[in-house]
Amino acid sequence: MPKNVLVFLTDDHGQWALGSSGNDHIQTPNLDYLADTGAVMQNAFTPIPVCSPARACFLSGRTASQHGVHDYLDNQPDHFERDWLEGQATLPELLQNRGYETGLVGKWHLGNDTKTARGFDHWGALAGDYPIDATGPARYCVDGELETIAGPKASVITDGAVKFLRNRNKENPFFLFVGHVSTHSPWDGHPRRLVERYTSHDFTEVPQHEKYSFGVQNLESRELIDRANSRTALAQYYASVSSIDEGVGRLIDELDSESLRDETVIIYTSDHGLNCGHHGIWGKGNGTLPLNMVEESIRVPLILNGPDILGEQRHNEFVDHLDLFATVLDLANLELPREIDYAGRSFAEILAGRTSGDWRQMQFCEYGNVQMVRDERYKLVIWNDTGKYRLFDLKEDPREERDLAAKPEHRNRCKDMLNEISCYYDRYSLSENSGTRPGGPEPTNVTSPWICETG
């Protein structure tokens, strides 16, 4: 029988802000429970460190240079009303065709929030501009009807998920996509009872007084953060994670009450990472200009729990949302479509406790005309608009402060890693959608970095 699939894809949840990632100061007991009784992928990455394209990567299984979305989408009519994955098979579509009942609650951010997207039977998307106030009333599109619902976003989104579970057709397996947003800026306005858990905390686990040496501050990192009150913002951010954790616990309880836990795969991840003062940045890949690929921007939490997934697992293989797309299909007993060359590979065998000795040794990321490759020790980032590249030794320089690209002893390493990038994106790109095509990708907002000053 196909397994039910419950996916939490949270906005802006950095991997570092989780108990199972070693942060003993943030309170995430429900996510820690899923981690302790399931599997944690300790080297999980986003293929692109910004929201809309990262979501498109997971939902389509394609790199940004294949699906064509390279930056976040604003609500201009030509962006808002468009099906950005038109002609591309999506995960909910493939599962729906297999007999799954499919639903979304929370953030969509891939076009028209007020219209049910292809592949979904039920729709409960946040409808409106981002970012959204954490607790104030917001518009939701509930199966075609716009409703204004008050209350903390984590609670309202969880309510919608519970409603889906209770009202679905019990004869069919389900796929439920829960898009939490509480961790997105502005980092303010979260439930007082949660914020007060952290107001006296010193946050020494977050690197203090760092500076970004390879560009200038941008967007959230320049406009939405009062650095003199960064501890207040951190208390709010931690509270946002705890509020989402409470929602995760409610849904675990709901699955238990319906005797569905043994038939359901639960997946928790984020669209991309987030810096909260790390490297002196508040934000993700577009928190600086030129765009950055620091570890906190590209690393994501990834916890999997369910039948055929052994507990107490910690894995170090490089995986990303492209692999997660393939893994969900595998867990649902579906094969990858044969229409394109998918970069992702299912890691279901790893979750079942079987070794995979031929797993890849490198991880690739892109953001428009910026590309990155890293192995266990070294990371190379190239800004293709200028041809500038930098090399970092993550073992000796984990804070990514020293560029080694000009060192003669690293000349061959740089050459080899640049070649790895070229080979990967030559294979997993379409010329009309490539992030490095002449003129840059199609702008999807007024701040798209390839139409702005790069600093």
pTM passes above 0.85: yes
Burial profile 410-446: b = 16 or more Cβ within 10 angstroms, e = fewer: beebbeebbeebeebbeebbeeebbbbeeebbebbee
What's the pLDDT at 387?
96
What's the pLDDT at 80?
80
Convert the pLDDT of each residue in 220-234 to its tens digit.
898 878 888 899 999
Phi then psi dihedrals of residue 383, to 5 deg: -100, 100
- All domains of the chain, ordered by start, with CATH? 4-351 (3.40.720.10), 363-451 (3.30.1120.10)
What's the pLDDT at 431?
95
Parallel, antiparallel, or unpaired for β 363-367 and 370-374? antiparallel
- Percent of the chain at pLDDT > 90 equals 84
C-alpha separations of 217 from 239, 318, 333, 371 in Å:
25, 29, 45, 20
What's the pLDDT at 129?
61
Q: Give residue 82's pLDDT band: very low, low, confident or very high (50, 70, 90).
A: confident
127 or 106: which carries more pLDDT confidence? 106
- Has residue 455 got a pLDDT over 50? no
Whole-number Å distance between alpha carbons of 123 and 142: 6
- Percent of the chain at pLDDT > 70 equals 98
Residue 78, SS3 per DSSP: helix
Among left, alpha and beta (phi > 0; psi -120 to 50; other), residue 353 is left
Q: Give residue 81's pLDDT band: very low, low, confident or very high (50, 70, 90).
A: confident
Segment 16-40 shows an average pLDDT of 97
Convert the pLDDT of each residue in 303-342 to its tens digit.
999 998 989 999 999 999 999 999 999 999 999 998 899 9
- Has residue 453 got a pLDDT over 60? no
